Structure 1
């Protein structure tokens, strides 16, 4: 009887985590760095990634908790950092992932002069370098950024070319939206040393804190994937700040999400704007389902960053 109970408990744990995952490796500058292994003993583990305990999601109730920062209660580093040049790419590979749909959000934070290893990332220090939500179609039945991770387990992010050298934390987050009004947050953090000739860090207006960046009332969090509006809406308000534009100027004012089309209207289809100005550096210029401007500003080129996102670099 005791053996049977133990087996049942183990099987339940496997089932609970089988639909979830975390970043397992980071590849940058030709080197692959191992992520944390949450179900193994912490003893002896060394990783550029901050320790976390399980693949289980964080929920709305956790938005005011320090756990929302890096999926832990402020655990510090293990003494390792990855190295990436400003303008270089970071390819992350998840251990497993099955939830659809999901948004992808990636942040960085400049560590203090003492370095990252003994710093927990507290304060209004985080800026967003990448995000994507609904790619095409409707909220309820369209293609989402997280589909790429479900299908390939990979996501590639470009570190802003203008970013000043130094030590940083990077925070990858998936926001699973498959349950009506019950989003699931999956954040993980890792330590980086950024090299190169960049000279800019974001001004204060781009910075947010964790906890603090999100509210339960944000439209992209108080979200019902099965609502009548979701059957026709073709945009999704990604939570958090705008993606940093690579300059030291102020962040743009938040925009009010467009109202969804009436339920009787036919779903909108992507179309190319009648007139397009050049897309600024770090702006989106392409990707599957993208219907915006595709011509980059002088001195930049539209660069593919996965199937669903290209940006001017």
Structure 2
């Protein structure tokens, strides 16, 4: 039933005027538990989910946009839920099927919230660190195999292992795919609230922490690359945007 629900949502999303070929994260899973996501075109009344609210399937096309953290105004709604996630376990994000943009990188970020809960915490105030990324896997920038292509091959899902070294606490997890088939680049980030348990004691370093907005620039080479230009035909190295990867 879950798979059919995802397909139905995708059909609805892709048939709506102005949102064709766009979308976002519709749900999450961890340790056999499925968590439905926010329904952006439904009334917020009565919605209760671990995902932060987001309003549209359309992409963000400005790396400095005030909504770049979580594709929203950064706040949590009434009825916000939080998933308990063990450090070292996998969290999977499910995009609408079939995701249409195979050229671009994938990212997963974490941001620890102050206190015992992320409820009421604005995502733009947090310090984010990158725990997972996948850029150009093979081939050339113009027509190679990208992280986004791998996400599509995995039934429009992306799975990230929560590092066992991450300190326990309340976090936002931010899954993001960036589409490079057109310029400016198209950003698709969404966030969910999780409590990490059984964690370690390796805090991210200062150079691994960024704000959103602030962590990206519209001039980042990874966002300005022209897939249809002459250089892209032979270019086999892709400059990954954002901070250094946590733990490295």
- Taking a change above 3 Å as real, the CA distance of residues 197 and 53 of structure 1, as seen in their structure-2 partners, is closer
Tell me how large the CA RMSD over aligned residues is: 1.9
Alpha-carbon deviation of 1:235? 1.3
Kept after mapping to 2: 8 A contact 1:90/1:158:
yes
Task: Report the TM-score when normalising by structure 2.
Answer: 0.89
Q: Distance in 2 between matches of 1:233 and 1:245?
A: 28
> Deviation per CA, 1:136-190, whole angstroms, max 9, x where unpaired?
00000111110122231111100011111110000111100001x3210001010
CA contact (8 A) 1:29 1:83 kept: no
**Corresponding residue for 2:43?**
41
2:230 maps to which residue?
228
Structure 1: how far apart are the matches of 2:159 and 2:13? Answer: 33
Distance in structure 2 (CA, Å) of the matches to 1:75 and 1:197? 26
Corresponding residue pairs, total: 234
The CA distance in 2 between the partners of 1:48 and 1:184, in whole Å, is 24
Q: Which has the higher contact order (CA 8 A, sep 6+)?
A: 2
Query: Offset at 1:122?
Result: 2.6
Structure with higher Rg: it is 1
Determine if the alignment matches structure 1 residue 67 to structure 2 residue 67. yes
Residue aligned with 1:102, SS? coil
Query: Corresponding residue for 1:203?
Result: 205
1:269-280 equivalences under 5 Å are none
Aligned partner of 2:4 in structure 1 is none
Contact 1:39 1:53 survives alignment (8 Å) = yes
How far apart are the structure 2 equivalents of 1:17 and 1:56? 6
Bigger shift: residues 16-25 or 156-165: 16-25
The alignment status of 1:160 with 2:163, answered yes or no, reads: yes
- TM-score (normalizing by structure 1): 0.71
Q: Give 5+ residue unaligned stretches, structure 2.
A: 1-11
**Per-residue deviation, 1:17:** 2.2
Structure 2 SS opposite 1:221: helix
5+ residue gaps, structure 1: 1-9, 247-313
